[in-house]
């Protein structure tokens, strides 16, 4: 009996190929030819499909352009002689350059002034952000993306197709007003109504001159402590000014409170020329004439280390708590 190992079988197959080239060697050539035929057939099918696509692709025939929508803001008195409508604002919503399909919508007054974004993206735009639209509908262009914690002033409400939209207004002084382009609308589903009194100052509002409340800002620890007399009310990690824009040291007094502020940079007369544009900075407590403010910061979470352009940054929820507690006239001590 002959036992052949792997090497013996290899030599045996070569021997057969030499003795029977037609039966065996031609068979191998046919296999290669078959593979080539299959490859060429597949290639032909792909080419036919590509040619068919090129004949019907969308850019080979005319497509009717999507209608451009337009929003026209008017006083109701411009549309009617009724004297009782003179102070009401309406918007004309419809197709631009056309009178067909236009709808007149009233901007309803609201009983509150501010809303807070609550169901949106995080400090670094992680997640899905609430979009600001140029009109009351998702077909309007996106003007900005808003993160959680933003507080905005409301100028009215528009109801359209069963959906409520808030018109946002910026009636404060802006350093770079050209950055705000057009009207701002946000859908009501992703904001919370705030019942706040709005701006308060020591020259327009009465305040207690004998308050025992004190806020201490420790720059070396990057901590804030709020005391009512000797009782600690709150302590939290903060972010004070960077080396080029330090938070000023000294003893100050809170002279203004506002729930929302539009912060823009760069600031004049500062070595730091960084660009920033931050609408709806929440829960502001002003304590220096130079613009130093204790406020919430929705654009970072680096509390416990220096970060700001001179202000004192707090987490937004903590800032709200401090804002509600602090009174006009509250002493602020900033120390090293």
CATH of the domain at 134: 2.30.30.40
Q: What is the pLDDT of residue 13?
A: 41
215 plus 181 within the same structural domain: no
**Domain end: 137, 168, 194, which one?**
194
Highest mean pLDDT among 5-19, 74-88, 269-283, 287-301: 287-301
What mean pLDDT is predicted for residues 266-293? 89
Q: Mention every residue, 6+ apart, whose C-beta is less than 8 A from residue 198.
A: 113, 114, 258, 259
190 plus 210 within the same structural domain: no
The percent of residues in the chain predicted with pLDDT above 90, rounded, is 59
What mean pLDDT is predicted for residues 71-100? 53
What mean pLDDT is predicted for residues 226-254? 96
In 3D, which of 168, 160, 166, 164 has the Cα closest to residue 184? 168
Report the range of poorest mean pLDDT among 69-73, 170-174, 248-252, 281-285.
69-73
Q: Which long-range contacts (CB under 8 A, 24 or more apart) does 10-13 make?
A: none
What mean pLDDT is predicted for residues 15-42? 61
Q: What is the pLDDT of residue 330?
A: 97
Any domain includes 186: yes
Mean pLDDT, the chain, whole residue set: 81
**Domain end: 147, 169, 194, which one?**
194
Any domain includes 50: no
Q: Which two tokens stand for residue 137?
A: 């509908």
What mean pLDDT is predicted for residues 287-292? 92
Q: What is the pLDDT of residue 244?
A: 87
187 plus 241 within the same structural domain: no
| Domain residue limits at 313 | 200-335
257 plus 224 within the same structural domain: yes
In 3D, which of 160, 227, 219 has the Cα closest to residue 187? 160
Any domain includes 153: yes
Dump pLDDT digits (tens) for 299-318: 999 999 999 999 999 999 99
In 3D, which of 256, 238, 246 has the Cα closest to residue 303? 238
Q: What is the pLDDT of residue 285?
A: 98
| Band (218; pLDDT cuts 50, 70, 90) | very high
DSSP letter for each residue of 212-281: -EEEEEETTTTEEEEEETTEEEEEEE-B-B-TTSPPPPEEEE--EEEEEEEEEEPPTT-S----EEEEEE
The more confident residue out of 146 and 89 is 146
What mean pLDDT is predicted for residues 237-265? 96
Look at residue 3 and tell me whether its pLDDT is greater than 60. Answer: no
Look at residue 9 and tell me whether its pLDDT is greater than 80. Answer: no
Contact 88, 113 (CB under 8 A): no
Q: Which two tokens stand for residue 298?
A: 């929705």
Any domain includes 30: no
Q: What is the pLDDT of residue 170?
A: 96
The more confident residue out of 219 and 45 is 219
Q: What is the pLDDT of residue 71?
A: 55
What mean pLDDT is predicted for residues 193-214? 89
The more confident residue out of 9 and 51 is 51
Q: What is the pLDDT of residue 67?
A: 41
319 plus 212 within the same structural domain: yes
What mean pLDDT is predicted for residues 166-183? 94
255 plus 175 within the same structural domain: no
Any domain includes 233: yes
Give me the CATH number covering residue 323. 2.40.440.10
Dump pLDDT digits (tens) for 41-69: 777 767 666 554 444 333 223 333 334 44
Total-model pTM: 0.73
**Domain end: 194, 213, 247, which one?**
194
Angle at 77 between CA 74 and CA 83, to 5 degrees: 155
116 plus 231 within the same structural domain: no
296 plus 185 within the same structural domain: no
Q: What is the pLDDT of residue 207?
A: 76
Q: How many domains does the chain have?
A: 2
């Amino acid at each position: 009996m002959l036992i052949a190992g792997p090497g013996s079988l290899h030599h045996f197959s070569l021997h057969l190929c030499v003795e029977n080239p037609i039966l065996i060697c031609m068979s191998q050539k046919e296999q290669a030819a078959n593979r080539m035929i299959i490859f060429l057939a597949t290639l032909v099918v792909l080419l036919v499909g590509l040619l068919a696509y090129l004949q019907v692709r969308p850019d080979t025939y005319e497509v009717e352009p999507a209608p451009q929508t337009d929003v026209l803001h008017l006083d109701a008195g411009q549309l009617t002689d009724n004297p009782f409508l003179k102070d009401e604002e309406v918007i004309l919503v419809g197709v631009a350059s056309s009178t067909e399909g236009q709808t007149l919508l009233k901007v309803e007054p609201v009983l509150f002034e501010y809303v807070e974004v609550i169901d949106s993206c995080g400090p670094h735009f992680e997640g899905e952000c609430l979009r600001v639209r140029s009109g009351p509908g998702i077909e309007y262009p996106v003007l900005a993306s808003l993160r959680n914690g933003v507080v905005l002033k409301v100028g009215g409400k528009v109801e359209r197709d069963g959906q409520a939209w808030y018109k946002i207004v910026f009636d404060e002084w802006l350093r770079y007003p050209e950055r705000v382009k057009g009207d701002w609308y946000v859908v009501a589903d992703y904001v919370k109504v705030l019942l706040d009194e709005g701006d308060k100052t020591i020259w327009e509002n009465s305040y207690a001159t004998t308050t025992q409340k004190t806020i201490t800002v420790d720059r070396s620890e990057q901590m804030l402590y709020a005391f009512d007399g000797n009782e600690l009310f709150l302590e939290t990690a903060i972010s004070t000014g960077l080396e080029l824009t330090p938070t000023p040291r000294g003893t100050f007094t809170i002279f203004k409170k506002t729930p929302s502020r539009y912060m823009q940079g760069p600031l004049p007369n500062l070595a730091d020329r960084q660009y920033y544009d931050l609408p709806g900075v929440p829960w502001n407590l002003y304590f220096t004439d130079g613009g130093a403010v204790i406020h919430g910061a929705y654009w970072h979470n680096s509390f416990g280390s220096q970060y700001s352009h001179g202000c004192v940054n707090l987490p937004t929820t903590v800032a709200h708590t401090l804002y509600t507690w602090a009174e006009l006239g509250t002493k602020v001590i900033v120390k090293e």
